[in-house]
């Protein structure tokens, strides 16, 4: 059963302990715990332990959608498509081990922010310790619940739409549409071109496609701007 979300405030005073201890001391802007995505299946409960374990691992793999973190080549190529010289509120979907967030934090201006949505509680261990980062442990389907009416300047998504349940992808697409500012960019990487039509339908314009070979597996980058497409 899904636990109710908890919001914990940052406590930047205690920097003496290690990263894990600091996390335990709520060393985050906002940390929403254990909220499962609406359209996602609950992990298997009860029944034979081995089958449950297999089901859980399969569910985890499907949500994770890859075997390795993105390479620095993919991260740089993708983020190179944004103008980090300007202040911006960036939304990042899918955190993993934080390779994108680390580079975003390195590039962005002191007045910029990055808000991250990640469902997998194991990723919490890699959280990037920076006051400009807001980490929300919840599905990207729930952006409106956490930031009602907020429009982000740009969105960087690493969600594995090809392996997520279709309904989860559709829910996230409508959240992206609702929370991306006019003229803001959506950057998304995928290992195939299957999401191309979805993104074209979402914004009413053809995404630019880039490709990075030096990634496991090699990845396509979709770059689409939110014009005045029909809602």
Ligand X SMILES: C[S@@+](CC[C@H](N)C(=O)[O-])C[C@H]1O[C@@H](n2cnc3c(N)ncnc32)[C@H](O)[C@@H]1O
Number of CB atoms found within 10 A of residue 102's CB = 16
Q: Is the dihedral of CA 197, 199, 200, 206 positive or negative?
A: negative
Candidate list 32, 143, 155, 159; residue touching ligand X; CB under 6 A: 159
Q: Nearer to ligand X by C-beta: 25 or 38?
A: 38
Q: Nearer to ligand X by C-beta: 25 or 178?
A: 178
160 binds ligand X (CB under 6 A): yes
Cis peptide before 111 (omega within 30 of 0): no
Q: Nearer to ligand X by C-beta: 135 or 203?
A: 135
Find the shortest distance in angstroms from Cβ 105 to ligand X: 14
Find the shortest distance in angstroms from Cβ 157 to ligand X: 9
Number of CB atoms found within 10 A of residue 174's CB = 15
Closest to 100 in 3D by CA, of 141, 145, 66 = 66
Q: Which DSSP helix (H) or strand (E) runs through 57?
A: helix 49-64
117 binds ligand X (CB under 6 A): yes
152 binds ligand X (CB under 6 A): no
Candidate list 140, 143, 199, 202; residue touching ligand X; CB under 6 A: 140
C-alpha 72/C-alpha 91 separation (Å) is 19
Identify the three-state secondary structure at position 136: strand
Find the shortest distance in angstroms from Cβ 156 to ligand X: 9
Subset of 204-223 contacting ligand X (CB under 6 A): none
Stretch of 47-55, 60-68, 195-203, 207-215 contacting ligand X, by CB under 6 A? 60-68
Subset of 76-105 contacting ligand X (CB under 6 A): 93-96, 99-100
C-alpha 217/C-alpha 195 separation (Å) is 17
Subset of 178-197 contacting ligand X (CB under 6 A): none
Q: Nearer to ligand X by C-beta: 43 or 48?
A: 43
- Cα three-residue angle 51-55-56, rounded to 5 degrees: 115
Q: Nearer to ligand X by C-beta: 113 or 190?
A: 190
Number of CB atoms found within 10 A of residue 225's CB = 16
C-alpha 67/C-alpha 86 separation (Å) is 34
Interaction site with ligand X (CB under 6 A): 37, 63-66, 69-70, 93-96, 99-100, 117-120, 123, 139-141, 158-160, 164, 168
């Amino acid at each position: 059963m899904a636990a109710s979300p908890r919001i914990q405030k940052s406590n930047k005073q205690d920097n003496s302990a290690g990263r894990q201890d600091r996390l335990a001391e709520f060393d985050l802007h906002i940390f929403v715990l254990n909220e499962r995505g609406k359209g996602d299946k609950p992990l298997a409960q009860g029944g034979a332990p081995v089958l449950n374990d297999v089901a859980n691992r399969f569910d985890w793999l499907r949500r994770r959608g890859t075997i390795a973190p993105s390479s620095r080549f993919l991260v740089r190529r993708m983020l190179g498509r944004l103008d980090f010289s300007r202040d911006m509120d960036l939304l990042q979907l899918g955190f993993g081990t934080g390779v994108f967030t680390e580079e975003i934090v390195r590039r962005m201006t002191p007045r910029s922010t990055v808000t991250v949505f990640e469902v997998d509680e194991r990723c919490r261990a890699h959280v990037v310790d920076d006051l400009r980062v807001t980490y929300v442990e919840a599905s990207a389907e729930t952006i409106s619940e956490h930031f009602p009416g907020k429009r982000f300047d740009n969105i960087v998504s690493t969600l594995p739409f090809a392996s997520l349940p279709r309904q989860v992808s559709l829910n996230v697409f409508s959240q992206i549409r609702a929370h991306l500012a006019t003229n803001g960019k959506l950057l998304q990487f995928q290992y195939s071109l299957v999401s191309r039509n979805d993104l074209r339908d979402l914004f009413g314009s053809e995404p630019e496609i880039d490709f990075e070979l030096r990634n496991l597996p090699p990845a396509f980058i979709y770059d689409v701007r939110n014009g005045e497409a029909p809602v």
